[in-house]
Structure 1
Amino acid sequence: MTVRPQRARPGSPELQALVDELAERLGRSVAVDDPLVRMVCTSRHFGDEDPVRIGTLLQGRADNATIRYVLAQGVTQWHRAGFIDGRDDLGLLPRYVVPLRERGHLLGLLLVVVPEKALAEHETRAIARAADAMAAQMYAEHVATDTRRADERDLVLELVGTDAATRTAARRRGRELGLLGAAEHVLVTVVQLGGAAEPVRHSEAALRAALDGFRQTRSARGLIAIGTERATMLQLRDRPPGPDEVAAQSARVLDELRTFLGPSADPVVGVGGRHAGPDHARTSYEQALVAARAARRLPALRRAGDWELLGELAVLFQLPEHALNTSLVPRPLRTLTEAHGGDRLRDTLRCFLEHAGSIPRTADALGIHRTSLYYRLRRIQETTGLDLDDGAHRLTLHLGLRIEELLAPGADGAA
């Protein structure tokens, strides 16, 4: 699956004309970016182009380092125009930045390349007039786009909702609109933000931008529902994706969100099971929520959970949050932990169980002689009172070890 870095939707002819008119009047390069610093419209060069501008024109958006730098200047919270400094290491000249706002909405950023970091009064007046016209034009386009997005959001939420009749009606409507087609497989991905440091509109825009690259690929068609701190993407596929493809998609989404929102957003991704057709979107959605919960609790998952790789943990993560506590750890395992040398015995037990009770493989993995391993296993049995040759006893101990992983200090709370 090929996914290219996503740029904002190209600007309308009306917006492009306003950009070109301002650039010609100033004799300077001008661009309009969306609130995530992705190019919407740009003028021709005036001999002031820098590597960032050239790279943006070639790739459709600036590189992540430049985006992070510009956003770190706080431009999305600005209410008046100002300069941002250039960065030689990024190949960025100074820019005069005007936040384009209309009726409380930040619609984009007007950027003028100003190498000398100084503008004449007639230039700032021209920029201010053009910015007002651009904001008005972008707001009109924004309203129309928001309506379409709201319709798509409602359809997705109905397809994964709890009411069966509503899901049936949504599938019918989706097919009538040509949004569902005849895809044989469905996959639902949930993205959750852990912090609320960013303004709601900025968080929503970042979630959409991170997922837009997967709306239409060679192997999938996607529908997206964006909320304030959560996004749901329903993908329709001709074939189910493999674990590597899912992992790459999740990693890309997380990378984009960290670029647009910074580390404080603490995003996680949960991917549901692969199922036959949109009739099973609800099931995949529920599984995606479980996978997202696992991603937030288990550091080893690196903030991305895949239902189909969770194994027995998928069952544990469907327990209520209040039930995930030390009372679930079997008493024999707690007794082992409290015994002298308990940590070494627990490590031996875990290795033994992970190797399906194989003495040779366990001894090799631990780097000890088999005689030493037999001694430790006898101690484990004596301390716990359980028989390691008994399948039910093994299951009790193995499940207890898994629960301890979920309760480890490095695991977070509920997603």
Structure 2
Amino acid sequence: MATSAEVQATVDRLGADLGRAVLVEDPQHRPLWWSRQGRIDPTRMRTILEREVHPAAVAVVARLGLAKATGPVRVPAVAEAEMLARWCLPLRTNRDLLGYLWVLDPDQTLIEAELPALVACADLAAAHLAQQRLTGDGRDHRRAALLAQLAAGEDLDAARELIRLEELDPATTVVVTSPPGPGGWDLPGRMKVHLAGATAGAAAGATAGAHAGSEPVRATSGPPLPLAKLHVAVSRARVVLQALRAGATLSRPSWDALGGWHLIVNAPDELAVADVHPGAPALAALDRADLLLTARALLDSGGDVARTAELLHIHRTTLYYRIERIEAVTGVNLKTGAERDDLHLALRLWAYRNAAD
């Protein structure tokens, strides 16, 4: 089977024989191999140097149905896409699209007798890419790249390619956990993605272990989501983990167990903590952190003094002294004050934002 170096050598020979620039790219139009011969246009330069594709050029591929072509297709110059005339040949194995071979032909002088050389080069590149999919290193690398794309934002093409690569059911759904635990596939940012069904036992075990003190709590993204919505699952797992770091007490470490914390994690950035209640930043600004912690513990305990003293491991006399100081700083009566709820929300919002990575 041809190596990547052999494919590159074939692309170089084709470019030299034709006197034209040749490019082989993957289905998402990322460059894989290219020649140095021939004149190029802004679209080709952007693809190779900046790893970007002009949206108008992508639209040309869709408009001409190039992904479904069965042989070389002459593509006319497209001014709005900054494309010179060229030839395109999809790379395929069975029904799977593996990429495209492009040969610039600005003068449109490439003749039919030269087309078999394009086909031969495309076949060699397709065979290499198909074999790479089947090998461990190549498959793992491609999977990681696709997962990173999906974690960054919705990408239907990446989802379809990952489904083909891993031979998944098109209706596959996923759950994300953080920090990473057993099983699943690694994601950037110390996270893991699990196929729904495969993760239920592992997530439950991780949670049980956390309560037993044997493992860290793993935040999960909640109900399974379609693979194309992986970025949503990633976001949900992140906010759950941040809420846990902020001291949220949940029935289980999952997005669908956030309860009132949904209001905290979804608070708009322009909403300042002081807008909810100025007492929270006033406590946070003090040199002593015990008042802030005490106010939060007391309000989280529903004003139960005995429970709060137990949680903080302090004498009730000490707690009563702190309560007096907190009320003096915030102007809130922690027993009967109407602003207790506002201060409570503000303290949670401050803790959540302070717990960001």
TM-score band by shorter chain is 0.3 to 0.5
TM-score, normalised via structure 1 length: 0.42
TM-score, normalised via structure 2 length: 0.47
